[in-house]
Chain A
Amino acid sequence: MSADRVPASPSPDAAGGPLLLPAADTLLLQVDHPAAESCRAELAAFAELESSPEHVHTYRLSDLGLWNARAAGVTPAQVADILLRWCAGPVPHAVLRSVADTMDRFGRVTIEGGAVGWEVFDGAVGGGAAGEAVLAVRTDTEALLDELVLDPSLGALLGPRLDGTTAALDPANRGRLKQRLVELRWPADDRAALSPGAGLTIGLDPSLELRPYQRQAVDSWLPSGNGVVVLPCGAGKTVTAIAAAAAVGANTLVLVTGDASLQQWHRELTRFTTLDPELIGCYSARSKQLRPVTIATYNVLTTKKDGRLRHAALMEQGDWGLVVYDEVHLLPSAVFGLTAGIQARRRLGVTATLIREDGRQGDVFSLIGPKRFDVPWRDLELQGWLAPATCTEVRVVPSDAERLAHARAAVRDKPHVAATVGAKAQLVGRLLARHPGEPALVIGTYLDGLGPVAEALGAPLVTGATPTAQRLAWFDQLRNGELDVLVVSKVANFSLDLPEVSVAVQVSGTFGSRQEEAQRLGRILRPKADGRQAHFYTLVARDTVEQEYAQRRQRFLAEQGYAYQIIDGHEL
């Protein structure tokens, strides 16, 4: 089997544009078409990229995508123009009609502040006592408001009618009303003012230079104070969110997916802001620090005791001027419920994809807000912000004894047995020999597997137990070229910032989630000064649990557009 076979490009439909419209809700972009790049840039405004493997990218034409576009000021005529210009064949009239109809539904219902007693909001968050009408729902026609009032579940959320096209709204119902409106396909344009929150000066460290697209993302989000910023892995989502927090200048609550993320946020906040570390707190299963800037895990927020969320009050304490939702596409459903209750606070979602496995994109739209900024990965790669990377899976054949040990191991021990297959140690050396002179990292989860690797390579081994001073010294040596390779355990690899490392070999992984994998890839493989390609190798023991994990990872990485190859260890 040839590993280096280069597939021929599919011949694009030269007669027409690069876009196919095989069904009313699906657009296929032929990547190899000469006009594909121009078309992609325009599509991003209103269509959601669903998968982007090497030849044909699939875009979804959904209600939410079209409403996001409308919220960003794109008109139905512009969308029609884009479709007509780029589609290879005729665009059915019905599709154009449906696009226009869908887009026109956004903004016909608005939520506004100040109908009655608006000043209540001024300076006191949530100060509007329950039941007091401080917000108003406005429709563009009386008939539409009639329709909304007549919907049983929506009618119950609305307050008394103030005139033909206006009804009062209890602030407590703001989130649920917006959710219901999206279900009814009448997405609300929420223009009501937001709470300023308790003021806090968050200065950015002078060493932090925001990239132009990061600045653009903050500028696009700031005026509305709600919504989602979509940036690909490795594009600096955390830094962008920190810049947004600095621009807001208020107490900030950051919600993250897990402990690893929490640590990363803590480090980046400490490093990139002038905040006194005392002002930054971590709120997780382990520690419960409530500080002006608090990072909390979704997990702790959704912990229940006696059927009640134990830490739900966190959302209300701290007088947050901004709530950041990291990896918003992974938001647990219970957090939506809590988010519905804080619609008067600024909300920023950051993610690499808006597509949720559970299909709750509508809740992200209604409760956190529309997409405010999106930059396609390919653009960042072309501009040199992301290094082009290839992922290679290297198959290692375990010995018969190792296979037997794997077969006999309990389910929870199998990953460990697979991770420590003996042949891996020699392969690492052969892989590194393919990239002479390039700084490399060897990463692993299990120390007993890493020891032999470090020994075989004659390279230092950094583990959680390595003293910080020693660790930093080795990192420095790798940076200035005194060391070619460093072997690091999983515990140690989080604090890495080694932009020039262009080769990473993963000896064993935890394979917790596909996103985590892509993030690790994005973080380690930063753009190189000489523009050289980054290589990410993963050693996979054949016919073990590792191969099952590898298949999932392969699908995810290929969908994300990474080149993915498999080679047999004995071919090296």
Chain B
Amino acid sequence: MREVNRVAKLLQLEPRDVGRLVELCHQARLVAPEPSALVATDLAATWWGLSRSRRWLVLVRAWLGSSGFVSRALSADEDGNPRPALGDSEPVAAAAAARAVTLDVVAAVPDGEAFDPEQLAETVVWRSPNLWGTGFPPPEELVAWTLEEADLLGLVAGHAPVPVLRALVAGDEAAVESLAAASLGVDQDRFVLQGDLTALALGPLEPAVAGSLGEVADRHWGRSVPTYRFTEASVRRALDRGWTADGIGRFLADHALSGVPQPLEYLLSDVERRYGAVRVLTASAVIITDDEALAVEIASTNRAARIGLRLVAPTVLVGPVEPHRLVEELRAEGWFPVLDGGVATVGRAGGGGRRGRADEVSTPSRAPAPDQPRPERPRPDPLPADWTGPALEAAVLPAEVADAVDQLVTDRTEAAATEIDHRLHLHWNRTTLVRHRRDGHLAEVRGVLVGVDETLTLLCDNGIEELPLDTVVAVEDPAR
């Protein structure tokens, strides 16, 4: 029932109408129930390919011969509960015969006159008294259902027969076809494109055309006439699905009654021009090198080709392999990479060649870069030696962050704090072990370093720890 309500909302129909339509499609073998779903049959695909009037005729003929009653779907049972949408069509042996008699009587109503349903039921029962055995639903109910269903199918309107019903009852096939085609119209394969970037169908569209149009433009359901609006998003979505701007243009030119408006051509080419200007790719590992030449060197090896490394920027390569394996592969080629989260860095020390010594190239160092010597600063409040010395150098913090922390500890200026904050945003989520003085003792806190100003801020298992800078003794890599 929940599904029925959902579909009803989508199609802006009453749930009961959805039930009746589902049952009708079931009678025509267009859908088949499976344990947890209702699926379209192979027949449905063929059915979609027919003309509108033929599609309608398939439904009508299936209905005429069916032993079930569409109107029972979701109608109230004896206890007032709704019957299921499918599966309650308890076969009524005489259903088809009862239907035929009822339609016969309806077709005999003179032109321009309406029938009274109750009187009509009486006439039907009187006409074929043998048809209504015991155990059936009462004949009046069967007649009422038949009339309701005939109304649903458009065979009666306003308690009067329509011409196609008379032709159907008279068995005049040619008349049925031509009347149905005349009243249902034919599906169109053309629509109007307008300068306000809309497409408007002046009648029902062929399913295939409607489907394609729905892929390249947004269909607006709010109005009773389907209009389609082309937007950047709708065109981008179509490109995602494999359309090209040229392909969309050709489709539109083939089906537009009035040619493709020029602003729409511009929209297509605008979106195509920008489509793919930003690309997202999947990479398991990233390699960052010290300089461009090194990156090119790595990219040009056979190994790089084999493991699928791609140069995506002057000093950046990405690859589809796990970082640890990548490090091994690079080492096997003779480099000395350092694993840094998901990033392998490969450095070049002192202008040395590619096969340099490990300690020259791999360890992030807080030593100032040769071209930017850092001036010596007086340290107003020197911390213990083990804080300024090896502890920081050994920490997993990247060199530049370590530098900044050091500088902050040294001169405690706001500028240094801002600088470190900025750098931490680039490298911030690493686990750190901080040794600090607390109540005259040395204590350790392990956590993720997330901020440094007057305090070191750590995200620990049990919350946030803020350690005043002047109590900090050492910041270390906990793995050591």
A554 touches B263 (CB 8 A): yes
Residues of chain A contacted by B445 (CB below 8 angstroms): none
Q: Which of B195, B197, B258, B265 contacts A563 (CB 8 A)?
A: B195
Which residues on A sit within 8 Å (CB–CB) of B274?
Answer: 543
* Contact assessment for A10 and B192 in the assembled complex, using a CB-CB cutoff below 8 Å: yes
Provide the bound-state CA to CA distance between A226 and B266, in Å: 46
Interface string of A264-299 (1 = CB under 8 A from B): 000000000000000000000000000000000000
Indicate if A129 sits at the interface (CB-CB under 8 A). Answer: no
B158 within 8 A of A: yes
Binds B, one of A50-58, A198-206, A326-334: A50-58
Closest-by-CB residue of A relative to B261 is: A7
Evaluate contact between B196 and A93: CB separation under 8 angstroms.
Answer: no
B258 and A51 contact, CB distance less than 8 A: no
The reply to whether the CB of A399 lies closer than 8 angstroms to some CB of chain B is: no
User: Number of residues in B with C-beta < 8 Å to the partner?
Assistant: 27
Report the bound CA distance from A51 to B265 in whole Å: 21
Docked complex Cα distance between A359 and B257 (Å): 32
Q: Report chain A residues within 8 Å CB of B257.
A: 10-11, 55
Mark each residue of chain A from 49 to 93: 1 if its CB lies under 8 Å from any CB of chain B, else 0: 001011110100000000000000000000000000000000001
**What residues on B are CB-neighbors of A566 within 8 Å?**
262-263, 266
Q: Closest CB of chain A to B156's CB: distance in Å?
A: 14
Q: Does B429 contact A (CB under 8 A)?
A: no
Are B200 and A564 interface neighbours, CB within 8 A?
no
Interface flag for A191 (CB, 8 Å):
no
Report yes or no: A1 in contact with B192, Cβ–Cβ below 8 A.
Answer: no
Q: Say yes or no: is A22 at the interface (Cβ < 8 Å to chain B).
A: yes
Question: Shortest Cβ distance from A503 into chain B, in angstroms?
Answer: 20
Complex Cα spacing A51 to B223, Å = 13
Inter-chain contact B195/A8, CB cutoff 8 Å: no
Q: Judging by beta carbons under 8 Å apart, are B269 and A1 in contact?
A: yes
Which stretch from A23-31, A114-122, A406-414 is at the chain B interface? Answer: A23-31
Q: Is B203 in the interface zone, CB < 8 Å from A?
A: yes
Cβ contact within 8 Å between A7 and B259: yes
Residues of chain B contacted by A30 (CB below 8 angstroms):
202
> Can you name the residue of chain B whose Cβ is closest to the Cβ of A24?
B224
Q: Closest chain B residue to A1 by CB distance?
A: B265
Please tell me if the beta carbons of A56 and B200 are within 8 angstroms of each other in the complex.
yes
Contact A5:B225 (CB < 8 A) given known A22-B203, A558-B194: no
Q: Which of chain A's residues have a CB closer than 8 A to the CB of B198?
A: 51, 53
A8 touches B259 (CB 8 A): yes
Asked if A23 contacts B194 (CB within 8 A), the reply is no
In the complex, A559 has a CB within 8 A of chain B: yes
Q: What CA separation (Å) do A24 and B236 show in the bound complex?
A: 34
* Residues of B close to A555: CB separation below 8 A: 196-197
Q: Are B195 and A53 in contact (CB under 8 A)?
A: yes
Nearest CB of chain B from residue A555's CB, rounded to whole Å: 5
Q: In the complex the two chains form, is A26's CB within 8 Å of B194's CB? A: no
- B202 pairs with A56, CB closer than 8 A: yes
- Report the minimum CB–CB distance from B407 to chain A (whole Å): 29
Contact of A564 with B225 in the complex, beta carbons under 8 Å:
no
| Contact A558-B225, Cβ < 8 Å, known A3-B262, A7-B259 | no
8 Å CB interface, B98-123 against A? none
**B258: which of A3, A8, A26, A543 is its contact (CB, 8 Å)?**
A8
**Given known contacts A10-B258, A558-B263, A565-B262, is B194 in contact with A56 (CB within 8 Å)?**
yes
The distance in angstroms between the C-alpha atoms of A555 and B262, with both chains bound, is 13
Chain A residues closer than 8 Å to B200, beta-carbon distance:
28, 56, 58
**A20 CB-CB contact with B under 8 Å:** yes
Given the complex of chains A and B, what is the CA–CA distance between A547 and B273 in angstroms? Answer: 14
Q: A513: CB under 8 A from chain B?
A: no
Chain A 3-24 interface mask (CB, 8 Å, partner B; 1/0): 1010111110000000010111
> Using a CB-CB cutoff of 8 Å, which residues 222-257 of chain B contact chain A?
223-225, 232, 257
Q: How far is the CB of B200 from chain A (nearest CB, A)?
A: 5
CB-based nearest A residue for B273: A543
Min distance, Cβ A515 to any Cβ of chain B, angstroms: 16
Contact of B259 among A5, A24, A564 (CB under 8 A): A5
Partner of B195, one of A25, A54, A93: A54
A55 touches B158 (CB 8 A): no
Contact in complex: B225, A28 (CB < 8 Å): yes
CB distance from B400 to the nearest CB of A (A): 24
The interface residues of chain B lying within 8 Å CB-to-CB of A564 are 195, 263
* Cβ contact within 8 Å between B192 and A56: yes
Q: With A8-B259, A9-B258 as given contacts, are A22 and B224 in contact (CB-CB < 8 Å)? A: yes
C-beta contact mask, B262-294 vs A, less than 8 Å → 1, else 0?
110111011000100000000000000000000
A residues near B192, Cβ cutoff 8 Å: 10, 55-56
Q: Find out whether the CB atom of B225 lies under 8 angstroms from the CB atom of A1.
A: no
Of all chain A residues, which has the CB nearest B274?
Answer: A543
Q: How far is the CA of A20 from the CA of B192 in the complex (A)?
A: 14
Q: Roughly how many angstroms separate A58 CA and B200 CA in the complex, as a whole number?
A: 10
User: Distance in Å from the Cβ of A32 to the closest Cβ of chain B?
Assistant: 8
A391 to B195, CA, bound (A): 12
Evaluate contact between A22 and B225: CB separation under 8 angstroms.
Answer: yes
The docked-state distance in angstroms from the alpha carbon of A381 to that of B258 is 24
The answer to whether A559 touches B269, judged by C-beta atoms less than 8 angstroms apart, is: no
Q: What's the Cα separation between A7 and B200 when bound, in Å? A: 16
Could you tell me if A559 and B196 are in contact, using CB atoms closer than 8 angstroms?
yes
Q: Is the CB of A55 within 8 A of B194?
A: yes
Q: Which B residues touch A559, using CB under 8 A? A: 196
- Chain A proximity of B300: nearest CB distance (Å): 30
A93→B162 CA distance, assembly (Å): 13
Chain A neighbourhood of B259, CB < 8 A: 5, 7-8
Complex: how many Å from CA A54 to CA B266?
17
In the complex, what distance in Å separates the CA atom of A2 from the CA atom of B260? Answer: 11
**What are the residues of chain B within 8 A of A23 when measuring CB–CB?**
223-225
B433 to chain A, nearest CB (A): 40
Contacts of A2 in B (CB 8 A): 262
B-side contacts of A554, CB under 8 Å? 195-197, 263
Task: Specify which chain A residues have a CB less than 8 angstroms from the CB of B260 in the assembled complex.
Answer: 7
Enumerate chain B residues within 8 angstroms of A55, measured Cβ to Cβ.
Answer: 192, 194, 257-258
Residues of B within 8 A of A1 (CB): 262, 265-266, 269
Q: How far is the CA of A24 from the CA of B225 in the complex (A)?
A: 10
What is the chain B residue whose CB lies nearest that of A90? Answer: B183
User: How many whole Å from A439's CB to the nearest CB in chain B?
Assistant: 28
CB distance from B93 to the nearest CB of A (A): 37
CA of A93 to CA of B114, assembled, Å:
14
Q: Taking the nearest CB of chain A, how far is it from the CB of B205, in angstroms?
A: 12
Docked-complex contact B224 and A565, CB < 8 angstroms: no
User: Pick the contact of B196 from A10, A24, A26, A558 — CB < 8 Å?
Assistant: A558
Given the interface pairs A24-B224, A26-B224, the reply to whether A5 lies near B202 with Cβ below 8 Å is no
> A443 to nearest B CB, angstroms?
22
* Residue from A2, A30, A58, A93 having most chain B Cβ neighbours under 10 A: A58
Q: Report the minimal beta-carbon distance from B152 to chain A, rounded to whole angstroms.
A: 15
Shortest Cβ distance from residue B181 to the other chain A in the assembled complex, whole angstroms: 14
| B224 CB contact (under 8 Å) in A8, A11, A25 | A25
CB distance from B132 to the nearest CB of A (A): 34
Determine the residue in chain B with the shortest Cβ distance to A20. Answer: B202
CB nearest neighbor in A for B267 = A551
Tell me the bound Cα distance from A405 to B158 in angstroms. Answer: 69
> Nearest chain-A residue to B231 (Cβ)?
A551
Residues from chain B with a CB closer than 8 A to the CB of A25 are 224
In the complex, the answer to whether B196 meets A7 with C-beta atoms within 8 Å is: no
Measured between beta carbons, the chain B residues less than 8 angstroms from A54 are 194-195, 258, 261
Which 6 A-B residue pairings sit nearest by Cβ, starting from the closest?
A23-B224, A7-B259, A10-B257, A558-B196, A53-B194, A558-B195
Contacts A30-B202, A54-B261 supplied; 19 other A-B pairs, CB < 8 Å: A10-B192, A22-B203, A23-B223, A24-B224, A51-B196, A53-B196, A54-B195, A54-B258, A55-B257, A551-B232, A554-B195, A554-B197, A558-B196, A559-B196, A563-B195, A564-B195, A564-B263, A566-B263, A566-B266
Q: List 8 A-B contacts (CB under 8 A).
A: A11-B257, A22-B202, A26-B224, A53-B194, A54-B195, A56-B192, A554-B197, A563-B195
Q: Give A contacts to B, CB under 8 Å.
A: 1-3, 5, 7-11, 20, 22-26, 28, 30, 51, 53-56, 58, 93, 393, 543, 547, 551, 554-555, 558-559, 563-566
